[in-house]
Chains A and B, each alone.
Chain A
Amino acid sequence: MTALIQSPLIQLSGITKTLKGQDEPRTILSGVDLTVHSGQSVAILGRSGSGKSTLLSLIGLFDRPDGGQYILGERDITKLPERKAAQLRSAEFGFVFQRFFLLKHLTAAQNVAMALVNGQGWHSRRKRKAKVLAALDQVGIAHLAKHKPPRLSGGEQQRVAIARALVREPRVLLADEPTGALDTETGNLVVDVLLSATHRGCGLVLVTHDHDHAAKMGRVLSLHDGKLA
C-alpha cells in the first residue's frame, strides 16, 4: 500500500445512528470507525439489514449521525446544515446505487449532465457537453450518449450512472451494491470501472454481497451488530 503523507479523506469515529422502527427505535449503527484515504478502496460486507446502506447514507451526507464524529479532509462535518451538505454532495461525492436510477425520458448524456445541472455553480452548454463526454468515455460508453435508458442493457445503464457519479470529479465514490442487479460478467466489468476511478486518487467505498468483488478492494470490512470490523 502506498505511504500516505496527507491526512485521510474520510475519518469516521464512534458513529451512531438510531432509526425509528415500526414499533420502537432501532439502533442501526453503534459506534462505527472508518478511515479512507484518497485513492483507497474499501469493501463493506454484511448481511441484509445490517445497516450498510445507512452507513453509506451518513458518509454521503444524505443524513446526519446521532453521535460520533465525521471529518472530511480536515473539516469536521458531523453537524453540517442541509444547505452546505447539498454543496458537498455535489462537489465531493459520487453515488452509484443498486438500481441505476436513470431518468428514462432523458438521454444518457442528459442523465450524466444532471449532476452538473443542480444549481451548484454553472457550466456553459459546451463545457457541460465536454465534461459529459469525458465521463462517458471514462466508463467506455461515449458512443451511447444519445441513447435513452430503455434502449440500454443493465451494464450500460449502470455505467451511465457511474459516469453521472464521476462527472464532477468527486473525491469520494460511494457504491451501494452496484452489481446487485447485474450478471456476474457485467458485474465484474462495473467493479473494474469503479476501481479504475481510484487510480486517479478517488476514494471508493463499495457495499457488496459478492466476495469476489470485495476481494478486489484494498480493504475488506464487515458490518455486524452496528460495528465495522
Chain B
Amino acid sequence: MLSGKLRSAVIIGGQGIRARKLRTFLSMISLFMGVLAVVTVQAGAEIAERALLTDVELTQGIDGTRAMYIPDNGAAIVEDTVRGRKDAVAALNMSAIIGEPGVRPVNEGGMPFEYAGQGRGGPRGYKWCDQNGCYGAEETQAPKPDGQAIEVRLYALTGDVRTFRPFRPVSGQWLDFASAPAMAPRLVLNREAAKGLRQYHVPAEMQVTGASANMTPQITGVVDDGGMEPAAYVRIDELRTWLPSTAKQNGGQGGPGLQLLLSPGTSDLEQTLRARLVGLGIPADQVQAHEIDSRSRMSSQLSMMRWIFLGLAALVLLIGVAGILNVGLATVGERIEEFALRRAVGTSRMLLAGIVLSETLLTGLLTAGAAIGAGVVGLKIGSQIFGGRHPSLQGIEFPWQAGVAGVIAGLVAGILGGLIPAIRAARIPIATVMRA
C-alpha cells in the first residue's frame, strides 16, 4: 500500500519536474549560490581551524599549562630545582650552528630554508653595543665566507617537554632522559632543521656561543614541533658538559633565555621557585606564571568568525529559499487544475502535498549535491594553484563537515521553499474542475 503511494509519487513528481525543466533549473541557480556559500564557509572554517589549532598546542603548549619566563640570572637556580621532575620542564634556548666552523650559515639568523641566502645578516657594517662591548664591527671588515652550515634554534631541556608540547614523531627516537648523559650530545631535529641538513649536507659539528669547544652531536630523531624555523632539542645535562651555566650567552636574541613549563596543580613548586627567584633579587612581577589558553582563545575566535560568515551565508541561502518558494508558489498556481483533477481521480490530499514537497526537496538536494561538487572541485583547483605558495594548502581534503552542512542547507531550503506550496496544493478544492 505504501509502496503504491510512493511509486505513484515518484511518477507524478517526475512528470512535474520533467514538464518544467527550465524552471526547476532556474530555481536551482539561486539556491545553488546559497548552498555554495554555506559549503564554502564551513570548508574554510574547518581548514582554518585545522591549520591553526592543530599546531597551536605544539608551539604554544597545551591549554592549562603554566608558563614562566625566567630572567638570565635566575636560570641556574630554576635548572637545579626542576632537574629530574616530570611535572615541570625548563627549556633554555640559544642559537646554534651545525656544519663547517667559521662560515656564514646558509640561513643566517635561523630562518626557514625557503629564505636561505637572503640572510638576515643585516646591513653590512651593522654594529651593536652593550655594557660588555661592541659586536659586529669586525664582521664588516672581514665578513665570514659562505659555507656548509645551517643555523638552528637549540632548546636544551631539563625533561620531556612533550608533556606540554605534544610533538608528533616523524622518524627515529625522541630524547631519552632516563639514560646516563652522553659525551656527544644527542639531538632531535624538527622537520625544518632535518630538511636543511638533508639539503646542504653539512658536517656533524655544532657550535654554540660560549661553549668550551665545538660539539659532535648525534642526531637521534626528527619530530614535528609545529614550528616553521629550524630547531633542535637536546638534554640540558649533555649540553652542560660543553657549555657551563656560567658561560656568557649571546643566544637570547629575540626572547628570554629560559622558559619554564609547569603542569596544572603544581602551585607548591611554583611558590617555591618564585620565593627563590625573589630571594635572588628579581622583582616579583618579573616571575609571574601565566596559564596557557591559546587553543581555547583561538578556537573561540575562530568559531565567532565562523558564525559571522555562516550568518552571511544564511542570508544568501535565504535568497535562494525565496527563489525556490517563489517558483514553487507560481508552479502551484499554474497547476491548480492539475491538482484538482488529480484529487478528483482519487489522489489523496496528503499524497499531493507530499509530491509538491518532495519536488522541491529533490530540487534542494540536487542543488546541494551540485554545490558540494563545486566546492570539492574548487578546493582541488585552489590547492593546486595556491599550494605552491602556501604549503598549508597542499593536499587539503574537502572537510566532510562542509558536505553535511551543504546537505542540511539543501534540505532546509527544500522544506522551507516547498512547505507553503504543498499546503496550498492540498487546499485546492476539487470542484475547481467544474467551475471553469
Contact = CB atoms under 8 A, between A and B. Distances in A.
Contact of B11 (A56, A98, A99, A117): A117
Interface residues of B, number: 32
Nearest to B354: A119
A186 B255 CA distance: 102
Contact of A99 (B1, B19, B345, B436): B436
Contacts of A117: 7-8, 11-12
Contacts of B350: 83
A86 interface: yes
A118 B408 CA distance: 30
B8 A95 contact: no
Interface residues of A, number: 33
B343 interface: yes
A117 B345 CA distance: 9
B267 to A, nearest CB: 72
Contacts of B349: 82-83, 86
B389 interface: no
Contacts of B342: 114, 118
Main secondary structure of the interface of A (DSSP, over half): loop
B292 interface: no
A176 B435 CA distance: 10
B435 A62 contact: no
A106 B435 CA distance: 23
B15 A89 contact: no
A87 interface: yes
Contact of A122 (B4, B348, B431): B4
A119 B431 contact: no
Interface string A100-125: 01010110001000110111111000
A60 interface: yes
A122 B1 CA distance: 8
A57 interface: yes
Given A57-B434, A106-B15, A122 B3 contact: yes
Interface string A27-62: 000000000000000000000000001101100101
Contacts of A110: 15
Contacts of B9: 119
Given A82-B349, A115-B346, A118-B8, A97 B433 contact: yes
Given A118-B8, A119-B9, A62 B345 contact: no
Nearest to A113: B11
B436 A98 contact: yes
B280 interface: no
A131 interface: no
A121 B346 CA distance: 11
B351 interface: yes
A95 B432 CA distance: 13
Contact of B431 (A62, A101, A118): A62
A87 B346 contact: yes
Nearest to B335: A103
A41 to B, nearest CB: 20
B346 A53 contact: no
Contacts of B370: none
B344 interface: yes
A119 B345 contact: no
Nearest to B430: A62
29 contacts: A53-B431, A53-B434, A53-B435, A54-B431, A62-B431, A62-B434, A63-B430, A63-B431, A86-B343, A86-B347, A90-B345, A97-B433, A98-B436, A101-B337, A101-B341, A103-B15, A103-B19, A105-B19, A115-B345, A117-B12, A118-B8, A118-B347, A119-B4, A119-B8, A119-B9, A119-B346, A119-B347, A119-B351, A120-B347
Given A53-B435, A62-B431, 4 more contacts: A86-B348, A95-B345, A120-B348, A176-B434
Interface of B: 1, 3-5, 7-9, 11-12, 15, 18-19, 337-338, 341-351, 429-431, 433-436
